[in-house]
Chain A
Amino acid sequence: MRRDFLEKTLRNLGDALDEAGRAESSGPLRRLDPRVKLAGFFGLILAAASSRHLPVTLGLWGLGATLAAVSGPGAWRAILRLWAGVGLLTGAVALPALFLTPGPALDWGVTQTGLQSALTLLVRVETTATFASLIALTTPWPALLKALRHFHVPALAVVIFAMATRFIFVLLGIARDAFEARRARHVGHLPGKLRRQMAASGAAMLLGKSIQLSGEVYDAMRARGFRGEAVTLDEFRCSRADWAAAGLFLALTGAALEWGCWR
Chain B
Amino acid sequence: MHIPDGYLSPSTCAVMTAVSLPFWAVGLRRVKAAFSARLAPLISVCAAFSFVVMMFNLPLPGGTTGHAVGVAVAAIVLGPWASMLAISVALLIQAVFFGDGGITAFGANCFNMAIAGSFVADAVYRAIAGAAPLGSRRRVVAAGLAGYVALNAAALLAGIEFGLQPMLFHDASGAPLYCPYPLGIAVPAMMLGHLAFAGVAEGILAAGVVAWLQQNEPSLFEIHAAAGRGRAQRIGWAVVLALVFAAPLGLIATGTAWGEWAVEDFSKPEARAAVAAASGNVEPPAEAPGGMARLAELWKAPLPDYAPAFLHNAAAGYILSAGAGVALTGAAALGLQWLARGARRRNPVG
Query: Within the assembled complex, what's the spacing in Å between the Cα atoms of A219 and B50?
Result: 22
Q: Give the Cβ gap from A146 to chain B, nearest Cβ, in Å.
A: 14
* B interface residues, how many (CB within 8 angstroms): 75
Q: Are B99 and A132 in contact (CB under 8 A)?
A: yes
Contact residue among A82, A121, A195 (Cβ-Cβ distance under 8 Å from B6): A121
- Residues A82 and B99 in contact, CB atoms below 8 Å apart: yes
B73 within 8 A of A: yes
Residues of A within 8 A of B103 (CB): 42, 45, 128, 132
- Do the beta carbons of B104 and A49 come within 8 Å of each other? yes
CB-CB under 8 A for A48 and B6, given A203-B209, A214-B38: yes
B175 at the interface (CB under 8 A from A): yes
Instruction: Enumerate A107-133 residues with CB–CB distance to B below 8 Å.
Output: 112-114, 116-118, 120-121, 124-125, 127-129, 132-133
Contact in complex: B6, A200 (CB < 8 Å):
no
Given A20-B97, A167-B44, A214-B42, verify A175-B52 contact (CB < 8 Å).
Answer: yes
- The answer, yes or no, to whether A26 is at the interface (CB within 8 Å) is no
Q: Which residues of B contact A221 (CB under 8 A)?
A: 37, 40-41
The residue in A114, A163, A222 that gathers the most chain B C-beta atoms within 10 A of its C-beta is: A163
Task: List, in ascending order, chain A residues with CB within 8 A of B37's CB.
Answer: 218, 221-222, 226-228
Partner of A97, one of B43, B53, B181: B181
CB-CB under 8 A from B181, the residues of chain A are 96-97, 100
Produce 1/0 per residue, A200-227, CB < 8 A to B: 1111111110110111011001100011
A207 close to B220 (CB less than 8 A): yes
| Residues of chain A within 8 A of B42, CB atoms compared | 211, 214, 218
A243 contacts the other chain (CB 8 A): no
Please measure, in the bound complex, the distance between the C-alpha atom of A213 and the C-alpha atom of B13, giving whole angstroms. Answer: 35
Cα of A143 to Cα of B56 in the assembled complex, Å: 30
* Contact between chains at A210 and B104 (CB < 8 Å): no
Q: Is the CB of B98 within 8 A of A19?
A: yes
Q: Give chain A interface residues in 178-217, CB to chain B under 8 Å.
A: 192, 195-197, 199-208, 210-211, 213-215, 217
Interface residue stretch chosen among A9-17, A232-240, A246-254: A9-17
- Categorize the interface residue count of chain A: 35 or more
**Complex interface: chain B residues within 8 A of A215 (CB):** 38, 41
Tell me how far the C-beta of A245 lies from the nearest C-beta in chain B, rounded to whole angstroms.
Answer: 19
A-B pairs with beta carbons under 8 A, tally: 261
* Given A103-B173, A217-B41, CB of A49 within 8 Å of CB of B13: yes
Q: How far is the CB of A214 from chain B (nearest CB, A)?
A: 4
Nearest residue (CB) in B for A226 is B37
In contact, A5 and B65 (Cβ under 8 angstroms): yes
Which residues of chain B are near A121, meaning CB under 8 Å?
Answer: 6-7, 178-180
Expressed in whole angstroms, the minimum distance between the Cβ of A85 and any Cβ of chain B is 8
Contact with A along B165-194 (1 / 0, CB 8 A): 000000101111111110001000000000
Residues of chain A in range 26-76 having any CB-CB distance to chain B below 8 Å: 42, 45-46, 48-50, 52
Q: Is the CB of B216 within 8 A of A204?
A: yes
A90 to chain B, nearest CB (A): 7
Can you list, as one digit per residue, whether each of B274-304 has a CB less than 8 Å from chain A (1) or not (0)? 0000000000000000000000000000000
Q: With A86-B4, A116-B173, A128-B102 in contact, do A200 and B41 touch (Cβ < 8 Å)?
A: no
Residues A125 and B217 in contact, CB atoms below 8 Å apart: no
A80 within 8 A of B: no
Are B180 and A196 in contact (CB-based, < 8 A)?
no
A217 CB, nearest partner CB in chain B, Å: 4
Across the interface, which residues of B come within 8 angstroms of A46, CB to CB? 10, 104
- Whether A117 contacts B44 in the complex (CB less than 8 A), given A49-B5, A208-B216, comes out as no
B99 lies within 8 A of A49 (CB): no
- What's the nearest-Cβ distance from chain A to residue B251, in Å? 17
Chain B residues numbered 74-124 whose CB sits less than 8 Å from any CB in chain A: 77, 85, 89-90, 92-93, 95-99, 102-104
Most B CB contacts (10 A, CB to CB) among A5, A154, A171, A204 go to A204
Q: Does B141 contact A (CB under 8 A)?
A: no
**Does A8 belong to the interface (CB within 8 Å)?**
yes
The one of B6, B45, B174, B211 in contact with A128, judged by C-beta atoms closer than 8 angstroms, is: B6
A195 to B45, CA, bound (A): 26
Q: Is A142 an interface residue (CB 8 A)?
A: no
Contacting residues, chain B, for A127 (C-beta < 8 A): 6
Q: With a CB–CB cut-off of 8 A, which chain B residues contact A124?
A: 5-6
Asked if B46 and A210 sit within 8 Å, CB to CB, the answer is yes
- The interface residues of chain A lying within 8 Å CB-to-CB of B207 are 200
- A256 in contact (CB, < 8 A): no
Interface centre among B73, B96, B185 (most CB of A within 10 A): B96
Decide if A164 touches B99 in the complex (CB within 8 Å).
Answer: no
Given A206-B52, A208-B220, A214-B42, output 14 extra A-B contacts at Cβ < 8 Å: A5-B59, A45-B103, A96-B185, A100-B181, A101-B180, A125-B5, A129-B5, A132-B5, A164-B90, A196-B60, A203-B73, A207-B209, A208-B213, A211-B220
Which residue numbers of B lie inside 8 Å of A, CB to CB?
A: 4-7, 9-10, 13, 28, 32, 36-49, 51-53, 55-61, 63, 65, 68, 70, 73, 77, 85, 89-90, 92-93, 95-99, 102-104, 171, 173-181, 185, 204-205, 207-209, 211-213, 216-217, 220, 223
The 24 listed contacts between A and B (C-beta, < 8 Å) are A9-B56, A19-B98, A49-B9, A49-B10, A49-B104, A86-B4, A101-B176, A113-B175, A117-B175, A124-B5, A125-B4, A125-B7, A129-B6, A156-B32, A168-B52, A170-B48, A172-B55, A192-B61, A200-B209, A203-B208, A207-B220, A208-B217, A210-B49, A214-B46
